[in-house]
Structure 1
Amino acid sequence: MDKKHSRKNLMKVAIKEHLKCTEYPRVGAVISKEGVILSTGFRGEKSGIHAERIAIEKLSSEELNDSILFTTLEPCIRVHNAQSIESCSELIIKSGIKETIIGILDPNGTVYSEGYKKLLENNIRVTFFNKNLRVAIEEKSFEYGKIDKIVGHGKRRIPVVQSGISIDIQFAENDTRTIKIRWSTLQFHHGCVDLLGQNGSIRAAAGASKFSDITEPMIFRFQSHFARMKKGEIAIVKPSDASFCVLIKLLEIYENDILFQWEVRND
């Protein structure tokens, strides 16, 4: 007799699949009916094929009818005219799957909430993984880890969608002092994006091209609540009540994402 699993256990199986991925973003999928696992898939199991498609194509139409799909990441939608096969969302809609349970919404600005919306519009029930499991997925899905908290120094690629994304910058793993920043108003065609902070907390490091050029961060004048940054520019963030500052350099700007570098320094 086939083993029956609870929904929570099926979510965990999908996460196990997504941890098999050797490329980012990691995605794992499970298809079940009445608690019985029918198929699984993970991104990279077959080159160039998404996890949902891999799991779906392992089954017949009869097996797929009235089944439930668990996927750790929001299913993709058609994002460009040259795409040769239908998106995962379109495949799910025509497959006979009755419900899709999503781990996290895709932070990619071309997908964010669009796959979710498309499924709902086509009478697919959509629910989500348990909160603690969503946190685990968030930490392991993307190449740069969690997108809303960073520590010490490093580089991070993040999406800038809708009204922007807030990030907590923690001084060190064992030092919980934190400064909050927000990226907003990405204008890819103009090559700029806004870095926001508290009133008067941001200074443009005019003339500096690398962090080592900045020996005294507070020497720069003209504090503002935001900096409109272009590739290669550096800003300094220090709220009036903070005991450290953060240096931010915009490394790359994409249509929906940015890559930036940061470094914390004691005041």
Structure 2
Amino acid sequence: MKLAIEEHLKCSEYPRVGVVIAKSGEVLSTGYRGETRGVHAERVAIRKISDEEVQGSTVFTTLEPCVELHDEQEIKSCAQLLIDSGVQEVVIGVLDPNGTIYSQGYRKLLENNINVGFFNRRLREAVEEETFEFGDIHKVYASGKRRIPVVHSGTDIEVQFSKSDERIINIKWATLQHNHGCVDLSSSNGSVRVAAGARDFGDISDPMVFRFPSHFARMKKGMIAIVKPANTTFFVLIQLLDIFENDIIFKWAVRNDR
């Protein structure tokens, strides 16, 4: 597991992925995302050894192996590659938060009689911090842009004013309806306002001029919302940038309340 993390830290692009293939206590090969341009880490490591060596091996990967994203995909997914290569066991660092992949690679391996284990909790936390460009998907600071999954009951996020200022506003993305092009943004009751007509954060000089506060806003691409729970001394501006079948991209910025 530690060797896989060492490979993972060699990556210069996100998401970082490191892989180690071992058998009978011996490391057979390693690989990381970006070692060969455009090739996933699992495939990089498998290409370094023979078909016979791969069979019956254990693969340690810091990120859940990917699955096919569409029927016409020309290159088989990493999960399918591991299955076809005769791997006996796969040990995973973290499940992929991409809503299209989340738990699907894990499930596919199990359905094909491959043993699946996970890194211990301490190492999972280390992987989580270093795998994705923005770190923990459930906490954000100050301002930025992020792609997150919105599946099942939704995704809760803490927006902290800054790393040195611990004031927090909680938001939640839920009820993603890709076919209708909308997703719900909520916070504590009566704290969400839609900045109707605003095209960017710079258009908003005073968030309280926008009427009709609610406990949630049904957001479509390009819409901006303002989240300010009662008794908070700052507010969060949020804009939905894009929406996918299981994921969204949004940006945010915090402002002190005047």
**Into which bin does the TM-score normalised by the smaller protein fall?**
over 0.9
- Is 1:73 the counterpart of 2:63? The answer is yes
* Paired-residue identity, %: 63
CA–CA distance in 1 between the matches of 2:174 and 2:146? Answer: 16
Secondary structure of the corresponding residue to residue 22 of structure 2: strand
In structure 2, what is the equivalent of residue 229 of structure 1?
219
- Is 1:122 the counterpart of 2:112? The answer is yes
Secondary structure of the corresponding residue to residue 115 of structure 1: helix
Q: Post-superposition shift, 1:241? A: 4.0
In structure 1, what is the equivalent of residue 170 of structure 2?
180
CA–CA distance in 2 between the matches of 1:86 and 1:180? Answer: 40
In structure 2, what is the equivalent of residue 108 of structure 1?
98
Q: Post-superposition shift, 1:265? A: 1.6
Are 1:169 and 1:179, in contact at CA under 8 Å, matched by a contact in 2?
yes
- Is 1:159 the counterpart of 2:149? The answer is yes
CA–CA distance in 2 between the matches of 1:190 and 1:234? Answer: 18
Q: Post-superposition shift, 1:219? A: 2.6
Using the TM superposition, name which of 68-77 and 56-65 deviates more. Answer: 56-65
Q: Pairwise CA RMSD of aligned residues?
A: 1.6
User: 2:103 is aligned with what amino acid?
Assistant: S
Residue by residue over 1:186-222, the C-alpha shift from the partner in whole angstroms, topping out at 9 and shown as x without a partner, is 2223222111211112111112222222222123221
Count of residue correspondences: 257
Are 1:157 and 1:257, in contact at CA under 8 Å, matched by a contact in 2?
yes
Are 1:201 and 1:223, in contact at CA under 8 Å, matched by a contact in 2?
yes
User: 2:230 is aligned with what amino acid?
Assistant: S
Residue by residue over 1:148-173, the C-alpha shift from the partner in whole angstroms, topping out at 9 and shown as x without a partner, is 11101122222222322111100111
In structure 2, what is the equivalent of residue 194 of structure 1?
184
Residue by residue over 1:70-122, the C-alpha shift from the partner in whole angstroms, topping out at 9 and shown as x without a partner, is 10111111221222232211121222221111111111122110110111111
In structure 2, what is the equivalent of residue 83 of structure 1?
73
Q: Post-superposition shift, 1:135? A: 2.1
User: 1:186 is aligned with what amino acid?
Assistant: L
In structure 1, what is the equivalent of residue 200 of structure 2?
210
Are 1:65 and 1:95, in contact at CA under 8 Å, matched by a contact in 2?
yes
Please list every run of 5 or more consecutive structure 2 residues that lacks an aligned counterpart in the other structure: none
Are 1:144 and 1:157, in contact at CA under 8 Å, matched by a contact in 2?
no
Please list every run of 5 or more consecutive structure 1 residues that lacks an aligned counterpart in the other structure: 1-10
Q: Post-superposition shift, 1:17? A: 1.1
- Is 1:238 the counterpart of 2:234? The answer is no
CA–CA distance in 1 between the matches of 2:197 and 2:38? Answer: 43
User: 1:75 is aligned with what amino acid?
Assistant: P
Residue by residue over 1:6-31, the C-alpha shift from the partner in whole angstroms, topping out at 9 and shown as x without a partner, is xxxxx121112122222222211001
Match of 1:32 among 15, 22, 28: 22
CA–CA distance in 2 between the matches of 1:161 and 1:28? Answer: 26
